[in-house]
Amino acid sequence: MGRKADWSKTSLHPLDMDFSIRTANLDDCKDIMRMIMELAEYENLAEHVKVTQKDLEQDGFSKNPFFHGIIAEVPEQHRTKEGHRKVGYTLYFYSYSSFVGRAIYMEDLYVMPEFRGKGVGKALMSKVAQLALAAGCHQLNFTILDWNKPSMDFYLGQGCFDATATIGYHCMRCEGEALKQLAQL
């Protein structure tokens, strides 16, 4: 499997396994959709998923994409019993902070359960951080469910902090009918 040095992961730790990290492409949308549903089921939020594979294809791989993606892929010999080689993903987009300027927002970071603890999630997040720095970003932002202690511990271990606890920010949202009503003002 041909790899670029800055996009690949080599096994260095006994728990690690061979996998590659690469830019997502249009052909990955089916697997990204599968993993979005796996993540939503883990978070008990599957009924909230409205995006479709077609949406991913249009929104991520058009002339002006709304998001970018990174895929973690294992060699054939490590594929899942269902035959999946794409075992993790992250979606991100560039944003802007009125306080510090350029920023990057990581919408999802997901690794299939049987591949966790092997360096895959860290490699995905590291790649987003590398892309952020290369674009001149000063922040990497994301949200996490308050009950998800394993993920919170993972992110804290990467040097992240809880902005809600530290600064007092809350993630707010307006959607559905409220969004339509707001647009009418």
Residues forming the active site: 155
H or E, element range at 111: strand 101-111
Torsion of CA 3, 20, 105, 130, to 10 degrees: -50
Cβ 174 vs Cβ 180: under 8 Å: no
Residues 6+ apart with CB under 8 A from 129: 140
Residue 156 to residue 61: CA distance in whole angstroms: 32
CA distances from 152 to 47, 49, 53, 99, 161 (A): 23, 22, 29, 25, 9
Q: What is the DSSP letter of 114?
A: G
